[in-house]
Amino acid sequence: MRRRIASVLASVLLFLPAPLRAADEVPVDVELILAVDVSWSMDQGEQRIQRDGYVAAFRSPEVQAAILGGGHQAVAVTYVEWAGEFSQSIIVPWTRIDSKAAADAFAYRLSEEEPERARRTSIASAIDFTAPMFDDNGFRGLRRVIDISGDGPNNQGRMVTEARDAAVRRGITINGLPLMTSGSGQGFSSWGSIPDLDRYYESCVIGGPGAFMIPVNDWAQFPEAVRRKLVMELAGGWPLPKDPDDDIRHLAATGGDADCLVGEKQWQERQFRWPSER
């Protein structure tokens, strides 16, 4: 009977998947999560500009050169869209990019999907959703980076600083692309924006070794900003800008002075004025 039980157990174990070991992980220069805001504060045209900007970036010679210029000549990338506390979607799963053809294929897969809009803005939940995605993903990068782009402050979920600090403790760097593109109109699309979103990202969102952000003040700047940011993340550098007004900001050692609860306060005020939206 004992021999039969042992034989059955051996047969079962034979067909179970082997646990992923460090030796099984594919080495890459960086593991990069692109976490992109698709909340209702942006219209469909603006969200298409976002998506097309990333598609164009992975097709660009600059980004492809950065991918192939590292020690492993390969990176691992995944593309995630997020909005409120329970709105996160993996649009393109973890993909190894190690050639021009692989970069073009990643861009093609990205171009085939239509962005889906959702309510609220939870940067904290986006970080909490993406940080565990590095675990057992099949890759072993020299750096792990979450790239957050969005056009407003956190207004749902836990405090964004708590989520950021938890991710940084895991050895993750969080970079930012604050989209300061909302107009001065009073329409719904402009609600939730703040004039100093760049300071908010600097103080409350980015963190970890080498963290930086690139503010975008106009949608016309977006494609170039995405290319530059990806090159910095994938290769660790970019040619010095010729424009003296260029605004790449690295994480300040002393931190910033923005109100990291400004989004939550905005939402509470909105609920007071329009209680039917609760």
Return the domain boundaries, the chain.
25-277
> What is the pLDDT confidence band of residue 256, given thresholds at 50, 70 and 90?
low
- The confidence score (pLDDT) of residue 41 equals 74
In degrees and rounded to multiples of 5, residue 145 shows phi and psi of -130, 135
pLDDT more than 90, % of the chain: 55
* Average pLDDT of the residues of the chain: 81
- The confidence score (pLDDT) of residue 17 equals 45
CATH number of 25-277: 3.40.50.410
Residue 208 confidence (pLDDT) above 90: yes
Residue 2 confidence (pLDDT) above 70: no
C-beta separation of 52 from 58 below 8 A: no
> What is the pLDDT confidence band of residue 1, given thresholds at 50, 70 and 90?
low
> What is the pLDDT confidence band of residue 115, given thresholds at 50, 70 and 90?
low
pTM comes to 0.82
- The confidence score (pLDDT) of residue 81 equals 94
CA–CA gap between residue 43 and residue 230 (Å, rounded): 24
**DSSP 8-state class, residue 30:** E
CA–CA gap between residue 67 and residue 210 (Å, rounded): 18
CA angle 80, 142, 168 (to 5 degrees): 60
Top mean pLDDT of 21-30, 52-61, 213-222 is at: 52-61
- Min mean pLDDT across 64-78, 82-96, 185-199, 254-268 is at 185-199
- The confidence score (pLDDT) of residue 10 equals 43
